[in-house]
Every structure is written in structure tokens, then in C-alpha cells.
A and B are shown apart, each in its own frame.
Chain A
């Protein structure tokens, strides 16, 4: 069966520090991968998605970037964090067909 792993679960980082969040999927190949951010009262905002290795689409301009160095690995990064980057970050994967996305357990990022 397919599983999705996301880490770390919580992270407290100072303003201006770098960020790296990792997401990996097991039990499937060539998944579509997604990064969402959830801020209080604002629902879930799609940040990036990827349909293959090295292929990244950005949904909103921001201080973050994403990379997909391997088929089942998706990384969210920042060179210098801002206070506004605080939030709950969720990784998700989807296979072919319209069956919805499967989400990881999320990372709570607090920028101080």
C-alpha cells in the first residue's frame, strides 16, 4: 500500500534562517506531488505541484521554492524565512485518475 511521510512534525525557526521540509512517498511510482500551506482562517493554499522529476509549477509568488530530485521525493525550501512563512505545511500525492489526494501528517512551522 502507498504511504506518505513528512518531516519534521514541528519546527521553530528564526527569521532569516533557511528551511528544508521533506516529503517522500512509498508504494507508487511517478506520483503527482503537491505542497499546500494552511494558515489560520485561510483554508488550504496550493503552493507547488510536480508531475515528474525536476518539474515544478508554482501557484503563488512567494519566499519559498520546491524541488523534486527523485521520483518520490518532494522538498520545500527557503533561503531566508519570513514571519509570514509560519503555518501548517502539508504534502500530498495523487496517482492517475480523479481519486483525490492523499495527505501527509503535516509540519507546523513557526517563524520567530
Chain B
């Protein structure tokens, strides 16, 4: 069965600093990987997805992620964060069903 580990439960950063949110997965079959963002008391919004092809995936709001099969990782990055990026971020793997990590709370401070 597939599973997802998000290594950091909370990540505080200053505005305009770069950020990396880490995600590792385990799956015995081909994987499809996703990052979602959740703002307080809202549903989840898809940031980006990896289905196949280029291992560097670009998403909305300036985020990107790199699929690394040998390290079974799919880390999310942004070169310069804004206050408005403060939210919870979820990594997920899809095989038969979508399985989520426990989330990483990103707090961007002025």
C-alpha cells in the first residue's frame, strides 16, 4: 500500500526567503504525486501534480516540485515566499485512491 511522509509538521520562514517542504512516498506501483494547499477553514486546492514526463513540475502561485524516483521524494519549493503563502500544504500519492501526508504548516513572517 502507498503512504506519504511529510517530514516537517511546521515550517516558519521570513517573507521573500526560499522554502522547501519535504515529502517522501512509498508505493509498490507507478505513482502519481500531488501537492495541495489549504487555507484556514477552506477546502484543498491543487497546486501541482506529477503524472509522467519531466521530473520538474511547475504549479500555481510560483511553486514547483521535483520528482526523484531514486529517493522516492517529491519536495515542494518556492524561491521567494509571500505572506499570502501562509497555509497548510499536503503531499499526496494516487494509486487506487488518494493518500495524503499529515501536512506541513507554512508560516511566512514579515
Give A residues with C-beta under 8 Å from B: 6, 34, 41-44, 46, 49, 88, 90, 92, 94, 98-106, 108
Contact = CB atoms under 8 A, between A and B. Distances in A.
Q: Bin chain B's interface residue count.
A: 20 to 34
Nearest to B32: A98
B100 A44 contact: yes
A112 to B, nearest CB: 18
Contact of A43 (B41, B43, B46, B100): B100
B56 interface: no
B43 A100 contact: no
Interface of B: 9, 32, 34, 36, 41-46, 49, 51, 90, 92, 94, 97-103
A103 B90 CA distance: 13
Chain B facing A: main interface SS:
strand
B44 A98 contact: no
B21 to A, nearest CB: 14
Contacts of B49: 99-100
B6 to A, nearest CB: 8
Given A49-B97, A98-B51, A103 B32 contact: no
A101 B43 CA distance: 11
A102 B34 CA distance: 12
A6 B9 CA distance: 28
